[in-house]
Structure 1
Amino acid sequence: MRRIIIPLCLALGACVPNTASEMPSRAATHEESAMPAMKMFGSPQPMPPARSNRDIERDFLELAFQLESGRTLPYLSRFDGPITIRVTGSPPPTLMPDLNRVVNRLRTEAGIDVMAVRGGDANITVEAVSRSDIRRHLPQAACFVVPNISSLAEYSKARHTRATNWSLLTERQRLAVFLPNDASPQEVRDCLHEELAQAIGPLNDLYRLPDSVFNDDNVHTVLTGFDMLILRAYYAPELRSGMTRAQVAARLPGILSRLNPIGDTIAPRNSTSTPRAWVRAIQTALGPGARPPERREAALEALQIAQAVGWQDHRLAFSHFALGRLSQSTDPDFAHDQFLIADRIYRQSPGTDLHRAYTASQLAAYAISEGRGNDALKLVEPHLAVAKSHENAALLATLMMLQAEALDQVGRVTEAHAVRLDSLGWARYGFGADWAVRAKLREITMLNPIRGSDG
């Protein structure tokens, strides 16, 4: 299992007229002094799932008994007994604090007996290696998890053998998670959450889930309330390793009634499954490897599939969003229309506040490029709290930088300076190196037609 490299929507530079055509590796900023301290999030604020237990039963079974390829798994596999996690390799400074934080959440929210250890053997080894090392093994992966090994060197020898075959597992004892040590703190944390969740729990991802890291759209980047419920159910005492799907299905309604009683009072939505053709189209459109015309053609195909299936949920909106992303440089007005359509669909779909925050960043960028600062403020400000509550520092910093530029446009210069300075601490966590923060700041500054014309 692996976190696919799908950059969602933080690249704003090509989306509107009057912007720089290329992003320099280093750029002048409003703040020439040293960057402020990196900001990190405080107490988590997960929202409990607001959906029917009938729907969650189906989600659980598809997450637990299928791989992302669609291949079925014959047995439930999990750890029996306490789970230990150790870190090896060359971890960045933020990894251990983020690991301790997610371990504490797994213990308190999911009720899993898990702990981080400093030395010796462990059930799960988190090895921090370079991105080039990861891509040497899996070119399209940002990070990944493998059973029955403890190091990348061991994986090199065991790859394509029975030892690393998930479908042969009936009980988990030893796994390795490989994370990049030269990515931004947020990307490292995002990989940690997704791969650790799959190392401990379900192995599948489902695009139909609007509120989960078990979804390759990469909208949610930290474990949600839904995810914690799934993991709590996965380790319910009524279940055990080696159970078949039918055995788990027989016990699951009682488990969910006990863990999520409100879910018994909500009517099911019965969302349809996601065709593999749509998944392939989205991965071609937003993943690595394809040329720009191929990406846009794939986005058009994804939208056509979504419309033919008859979706009215976040997957239809995401199809419009992807098409907007890939039309920004060639037809910004068409791209703007796609973002408007996506936002309208998201607004009617439950559990999509974070999706709307991403869309708002694109619409606000367009408004700033047209000198409509007040409109940009109305677009951005409702979503700042959403980005923060979902612990997305890159999105939060982007929204704040857009807010600062809009404030400048309407003459609120002092406020703009304060917001822009405040954004930098979040940007250091979200984007990493100082040059990347400065590049993002300049990119958004250049959206302003006055600044853009000044060069």
Structure 2
Amino acid sequence: MRRVILAAGLLLSACAAVPEAEVTMEPPHWLVIDPLPDMKSFSDRPAARPARSNSEMARDFLELTFLMESGRAIERMSRFEEPITVSMTGMVPPTAVSDLSRLLGRLRREADIDIRETRGPAAVAIEFVERRRMQALVPAAACFVVPRVTSFDDYRRVRRKSQVDWATIGTREQVAIFIPADTSPQEVRDCLHEELAQAIGPLNDLYRLSDSVFNDDNFHTVLTGFDMLILRATYAPEMHSGMTRGEAAAALPGVLARINPRGGDGTPAPDVATSRVWIHAIEEALGPTGSDRKRRAAALRALQVARAEGWQDARMAFSLFGMARLGMADEMDLSVSAFIEAVRIYHGLPEGAIHAAHIDMQMAALALSSGQADAAILLCNRAIPVATRAENAALLATLLMIRSEALRLEGRAAQARASRLESLAWARYGFGDEAEVRTRMSEIAALTPGRLAEAPTDSGDSG
């Protein structure tokens, strides 16, 4: 389930990328008045193969497949045993059609899964619903997947019954995915990737994974090479519904040796448990509720647990990220130090560059707000290719706008305008409707020293 609480904490949107003290409550829309260019979208590219060993892959497969997010054990593996059909109903956004087609094509090519779109009844029913209707039932979810139902109305009737308990599934035959129709194209695409992957594959998320969408930190927004390999193993002919954990563990070395020969030995590595105390603390820290004091206390608890456990993986880096985020308003020096330590860890992890790019965006915004244009440009230039490869239009648009404002400070008007227009094209995909795009971009522009003192008649042509 894609969670709003952590997505909000991760600053995937521009407005949260900077200290609150630097952003007006009502951003002046006249700061960004250019006509919006056509929406940009990403081209197809296969994901890089995972850089980890098959023994690690086997361990991660078992933990993803035989545990729920709550920590509850799943006794037997389940998957679809027939070719998988997928359909979309409800208020289907225009971009969802092409994004689903791209995703299904990748699943066929990279995960070797027999899956296709169809009209009418399907094994995987994707329904687009108004956000308010969804969150009336599941307030914390941006989108979610449910077994044994075919529609949102069906789910409303049975949501408290064992019928929708994943742990009772023998073989998957019918699931439904619910996505808000009134959200940005990127959020729709992200939901398609994460929820379809869990509809047909593992049900768990692991915070220690730095190279997967099966992680509630939501840094990765499209299926990675790791994810495709996990799904390919799930649908290998040697695997089947009803397998116990022990049976799956015995089969995995041969499966992984065949489908990932570069990975070496496939004997499962030892488990790397994550404390429920840490999980609860990180979710409280980055959740949408609670006072600043309570959230900071929770972030400190998470960091203390990570240090006590001796972690030097994605969990430690995410603890530092959370601590840094919550200290930006009044503990800037500590926040910067925590960001720097988190970046160091992320750069040593598989696919950790996108995590570091988010932090570069934070640091670039700080540099811009203090008038350090050269540092802001350097940070943005480092992060922009990473955001592009990760297909994160919201992050990419934010970085391009920060760079535009920094170029503007340096008097490079033509380059500033080009970067701003490119940012707006990506923002249309990343943030959605025109009002939202202008709000997000104007909030970033407002960081630039002297910008708020300009006359509203500024055409923006000067860059």
Unpaired runs of 5+ residues, structure 2, are: 456-463
Instruction: Give the corresponding residue for 2:63.
Output: 62
Instruction: Give the corresponding residue for 1:15.
Output: 18
Q: CA distance change for structure 1 residues 247 and 272 in 2, over 3 Å: closer, same or farther?
A: closer
Name the stretch that deviates more: 404-413 or 248-257: 404-413
Write out per-residue CA displacement over residues 192-222 of structure 1, whole angstroms, 9 at most, x where no aligned residue.
Answer: 1101000000100001110000000000010
Displacement, 1:277? Answer: 1.1
Displacement, 1:295? Answer: 1.5
Q: Distance in 2 between matches of 1:427 and 1:15?
A: 17
Q: Distance in 2 between matches of 1:162 and 1:270?
A: 33
Q: Distance in 1 between matches of 2:320 and 2:210?
A: 16
Instruction: Give the corresponding residue for 1:49.
Output: 50
Q: Would you say how many aligned residue pairs link Structure 1 and Structure 2?
A: 452
Displacement, 1:258? Answer: 0.7
3-state DSSP of counterpart to 1:449: coil
Q: Distance in 1 between matches of 2:70 and 2:190?
A: 22
3-state DSSP of counterpart to 1:15: coil
Instruction: Give the corresponding residue for 1:85.
Output: 86
Q: Do the aligned partners of 2:393 and 2:426 also contact (CA within 8 Å) in 1?
A: yes
Displacement, 1:269? Answer: 8.3
Q: Distance in 2 between matches of 1:333 and 1:268?
A: 42
Q: Distance in 2 between matches of 1:186 and 1:347?
A: 25
Q: Distance in 2 between matches of 1:403 and 1:234?
A: 43
Write out per-residue CA displacement over residues 104-134 of structure 1, whole angstroms, 9 at most, x where no aligned residue.
Answer: 1111111100001122x11010000011111
The answer to whether structure 1 residue 337 and structure 2 residue 337 are counterparts is yes
State the TM-score, normalized to the length of structure 1: 0.95
3-state DSSP of counterpart to 2:30: coil
Instruction: Give the corresponding residue for 2:458.
Output: none
Displacement, 1:369? Answer: 1.2
Instruction: Give the corresponding residue for 1:117.
Output: 118
Displacement, 1:334? Answer: 2.9
Q: Distance in 2 between matches of 1:269 and 1:204?
A: 18
Q: Distance in 1 between matches of 2:66 and 2:111?
A: 20
Displacement, 1:351? Answer: 2.5
3-state DSSP of counterpart to 2:31: coil
Write out per-residue CA displacement over residues 289-332 of structure 1, whole angstroms, 9 at most, x where no aligned residue.
Answer: 22222221111111111111111122211111111111222333
Q: Distance in 2 between matches of 1:436 and 1:363?
A: 23
Q: Do the aligned partners of 1:19 and 1:452 also contact (CA within 8 Å) in 2?
A: no
Displacement, 1:18? Answer: 6.9
The answer to whether structure 1 residue 226 and structure 2 residue 226 are counterparts is yes
Write out per-residue CA displacement over residues 45-76 of structure 1, whole angstroms, 9 at most, x where no aligned residue.
Answer: 41110001111101000101110000001111
Q: Do the aligned partners of 1:193 and 1:223 also contact (CA within 8 Å) in 2?
A: yes
Q: Do the aligned partners of 1:16 and 1:369 also contact (CA within 8 Å) in 2?
A: no
- The one-letter code sitting in structure 1 at the alignment partner of 2:123 is N
State the TM-score, normalized to the length of structure 2: 0.93
Write out per-residue CA displacement over residues 66-110 of structure 1, whole angstroms, 9 at most, x where no aligned residue.
Answer: 100000011110101110011111111111111111011111111
Q: Do the aligned partners of 2:69 and 2:205 also contact (CA within 8 Å) in 1?
A: yes
Instruction: Give the corresponding residue for 2:29.
Output: 27
Instruction: Give the corresponding residue for 2:402.
Output: 402
- Equivalence map 1:153-172=2 (5 Å): 153-172=153-172
Instruction: Give the corresponding residue for 2:307.
Output: 307
Instruction: Give the corresponding residue for 2:106.
Output: 105
Q: Distance in 1 between matches of 2:196 and 2:353?
A: 25
Name the stretch that deviates more: 222-231 or 128-137: 128-137
Q: Distance in 2 between matches of 1:385 and 1:253?
A: 36
Instruction: Give the corresponding residue for 1:283.
Output: 283
Instruction: Give the corresponding residue for 1:324.
Output: 324
Q: Distance in 2 between matches of 1:266 and 1:56?
A: 8
Q: Do the aligned partners of 1:45 and 1:389 also contact (CA within 8 Å) in 2?
A: no
Instruction: Give the corresponding residue for 1:387.
Output: 387
Instruction: Give the corresponding residue for 1:94.
Output: 95
Q: Do the aligned partners of 2:148 and 2:176 also contact (CA within 8 Å) in 1?
A: yes
